[in-house]
Amino acid sequence: DFKKMDKVLIVDPEKCTGCRLCESVCSLFHTGICNPSLSSIRIIKYEEEGIDMPTVCQQCEESICLLSCPVNAISKDEKTGALITNEERCIKCKTCLVVCPFGGATMNPKGKIIRCDLCGGNPTCVDFCQTKAISYAEVEKINMQLKRDRIKKIVKLNIISHDN
């Protein structure tokens, strides 16, 4: 049974300047090291379109990654609803990475799956984003049309990036 999310991370690529501060604070908060390759949020630059896209796990209500994990290494945090990978159980098969339509998780150089854990309910990236390109909002307060528009942009950018 899936926990219904109370709050979700929302990204607005139109507000993102590509400063990558979110990547730095994320890796610093989680590992004590300021290294973008250790961050669970990544800024993807689409040069032709002039867009910087903060990319992070969407914490899907019915998560394809969770359902497709062959060893059940992914679960939902009871407090936040964030997807969590059990490192001891994970066999590093990358199935979760392949099935995610948003590219919301990645693997660090040591083979650990990196996925946003919402910092226990107080995402550090939100606090440090000076342009408010990243927000953490209650689901009920999100304008559904705005959310659909953002998903369409993400899908369009994803299609563009896969065409190259």
Condensed to tens digits (0 to 9), the pLDDT of residues 64-123 reads 999 999 999 999 999 899 999 999 999 999 999 999 999 999 998 888 999 999 999 999
Distances from the Cα of 16 to the Cαs of 3, 20, 57, 133, 140, in angstroms? 30, 9, 17, 5, 24
Instruction: Classify residue 37: in a domain, yes or no.
Output: yes
Around Cβ 93, how many Cβ atoms within 10 Å?
13
Into how many domains does the chain fold? 1
Question: What pLDDT is attached to residue 146?
Answer: 67
CATH code of 123's domain: 3.30.70.20
Please give the residue range of the domain that contains residue 82: 7-163
Instruction: Classify residue 140: in a domain, yes or no.
Output: yes
- Measured over the CA atoms of residue 136, residue 52, residue 125 and residue 67, the dihedral's sign is positive
Instruction: Classify residue 1: in a domain, yes or no.
Output: no
Instruction: Classify residue 53: in a domain, yes or no.
Output: yes
Burial class (CB in 10 A: 0-12, 13-18, 19+), 37: middle
Cα(107)–Cα(64) distance, integer angstroms: 17
pTM, two decimals, is 0.79
